[in-house]
């Protein structure tokens, strides 16, 4: 079974390298097209497969496995590595593989819309001085992009929790404890909505006048390392996802890290995402110092 899974993954890897736009896998087609639209080329793809679970039901066997994908990208004279952790389910009948599909983690974001929350911000909050260390924020994002810091709670929809951790690692101060609808904080087994809910963090970044503060800009090109992008996949005004800028491509556009669907140095627009729709809306926030 392991050999059949590896053969299936190898077949998919070859499709990327040969840029087979007629491949039956829609996700592969989307990714190939997203690179071609940026005049970028997939030079090499590496895949490391790990079986995580196996279940037997009569003549049927179901195997969960993870694939750590690494894409070596060339764009103009720049090379960089994009990475993503994919979760798959392989189905066997009498030990013969008949189906293997990716379990799209980004669909969890849409199928489990985060709780509605109201922020209760006051303009008279005490001033908190800090300087945002972008390098430390990016270093944290790189260290934990595919794992989870045991010092923090892990969420099933973990994107905003991960971004909050990155911002805090860069020196952004917490405030508002113990009011969940006020400020931005996590302590022990409790946290504010803005720490863990994508839409609440977007509101907080746009409105905070004390502690962690940000300024909205009109273009992703204006963002710097350590800045934040918010995603409203359905374009309904409720934002579902957040990422942090960890690099720039050859055209100066952001590459981002994220959780839920754990990704590293991914192109910011998410056009290859299963959650992407033509109605997608973005918010671009640059973090500001408060010296």
pLDDT > 90: what percent of the chain?
81
Mean pLDDT, range 137-161, rounded to an integer = 97
Model pLDDT, residue 290: 86
Q: Is the pLDDT of residue 177 over 90?
A: yes
Model pLDDT, residue 188: 86
Least confident of 53-62, 98-107, 111-120, 205-214: 111-120
Q: How confident is the model at residue 20 (pLDDT cuts 50, 70, 90)?
A: low
SS3 labels along the chain: CHHHHHHHHHHHHHHHHCCCCCCCCHHHHHHHHHHHHCCEEEEEEEEEEEEEEEEEECCEEEEEEEEEEEEEEEECCEEEEEEEEEEEEEEEECCEEEEEEEECCHHHHHHCCCCCCCCCCCCCCCCCCECCCHHHHHHHHHHCCCCCCCCCCCCCCCHHHHHHHHHHHCCCCCECCCCCCCCECEECCEECHHHHCHHHHHHHHHHCCCCCEEEEECCHHHCCCCCEEEEECCCCCCCCEEEEEEEECCCCCEEEEECCCCEEEEECCCCCCCCCCCCCEEEEEEEECEC
Model pLDDT, residue 135: 98
Mean pLDDT, range 152-164, rounded to an integer = 96
Least confident of 27-41, 89-103, 270-284: 27-41
Instruction: State the chain's mean pLDDT as an integer.
Output: 92
Model pLDDT, residue 40: 95
């Amino acid at each position: 079974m392991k050999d059949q899974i590896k053969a299936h993954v190898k077949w998919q890897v070859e499709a990327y390298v040969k840029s087979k736009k007629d491949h039956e896998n829609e996700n592969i087609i989307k990714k190939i097209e997203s690179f071609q639209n940026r005049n970028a080329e997939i030079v090499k793809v590496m895949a490391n497969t790990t079986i995580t679970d196996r279940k037997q039901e009569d003549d049927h066997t179901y195997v969960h496995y993870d694939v750590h994908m690494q894409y070596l990208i060339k764009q103009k004279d720049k090379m960089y590595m994009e990475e993503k952790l994919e979760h798959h389910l392989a189905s066997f009948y009498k030990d013969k593989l008949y189906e293997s599909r990716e379990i799209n983690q980004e669909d969890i974001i849409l199928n489990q819309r985060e709780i509605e929350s109201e922020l209760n911000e006051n303009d008279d909050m005490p001033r908190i001085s800090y300087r945002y260390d972008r390098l430390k924020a990016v270093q944290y994002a790189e260290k934990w992009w595919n794992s989870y810091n045991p010092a923090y709670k892990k969420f099933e929809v973990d994107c905003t929790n991960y971004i909050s951790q990155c911002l805090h690692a860069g020196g952004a101060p917490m405030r508002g404890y113990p009011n969940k609808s006020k400020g931005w904080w996590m302590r022990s087994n409790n946290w504010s909505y803005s720490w863990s809910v994508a839409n609440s963090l977007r509101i907080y970044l746009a409105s905070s006048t004390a502690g962690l503060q940000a300024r909205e800009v009109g273009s992703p090109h204006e963002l710097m390392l350590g800045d934040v992008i918010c995603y409203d996949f359905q374009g309904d005004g409720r934002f579902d996802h957040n990422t942090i800028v960890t690099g720039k491509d050859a055209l100066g556009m952001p590459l981002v890290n994220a959780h839920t669907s754990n990704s590293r140095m991914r192109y910011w627009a998410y056009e290859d995402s299963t959650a992407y729709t033509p109605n997608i809306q973005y918010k671009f926030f640059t973090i500001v110092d408060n010296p």
